[in-house]
Copies of this chain bind each other. A is one copy, B any other.
Amino acid sequence: MTTPKTETIAVRISRILAERIIAGGMQAGMRLAQDHIAEEFGTSHVPVREAFRRLEAQGLVVSEPRRGVRVAGFTMAEVKEVAEMRAALEVLALRHAAPHLTRSILDQAEEANRAGDKAGDVQSWEEANRAFHRLLLAPCGMPRLLKSIDDLHAASARFLFSGWRAEWEAPTDRDHLAILSALRAGDIETAAAVLARHVQWVGQPPRTKPVRQPLPRSA
Interface residues of A (CB under 8 A from B): 6-8, 11, 46, 49-50, 53-54, 56-57, 59, 65-66, 77-78, 81-82, 84-85, 88-89, 91-92, 96, 141-145, 148
**Minimal Cβ-Cβ distance residue in B for A146:** B81
Q: A8-B65, A50-B49, A50-B53 are in contact. Are A85 and B92 (CB under 8 A)?
A: yes
Docked-complex contact A6 and B66, CB < 8 angstroms: yes
Q: Which residues of B contact A66 (CB under 8 A)?
A: 6, 8
Q: In the complex, which of the residues A6, A78, A142 has the most CB atoms of chain B within 10 Å of its own CB atom?
A: A142
Determine the distance from Cα of A88 to Cα of B93 in the docked complex, in whole angstroms: 10
A59 to chain B: which residues have CB within 8 Å?
A: 144
A54: chain B residues at CB < 8 Å are: 53, 57
* CB atoms of B50 and A142 under 8 A apart: no
Contact of A88 among B8, B50, B65, B89 (CB under 8 A): B89
Pick the contact of A85 from B49, B56, B141, B145 — CB < 8 Å? Answer: B145
Residues in B with CB closer than 8 Å to A7 are: 65
Give the docked Cα–Cα distance between A6 and B63 (Å).
13
A57 touches B65 (CB 8 A): no
Q: List 24 A-B contacts (CB under 8 A).
A: A6-B65, A6-B66, A46-B46, A49-B50, A50-B53, A53-B53, A53-B54, A56-B57, A59-B144, A77-B142, A78-B144, A81-B142, A81-B145, A84-B92, A84-B96, A84-B142, A84-B145, A85-B89, A85-B92, A85-B145, A88-B89, A88-B91, A88-B92, A148-B148
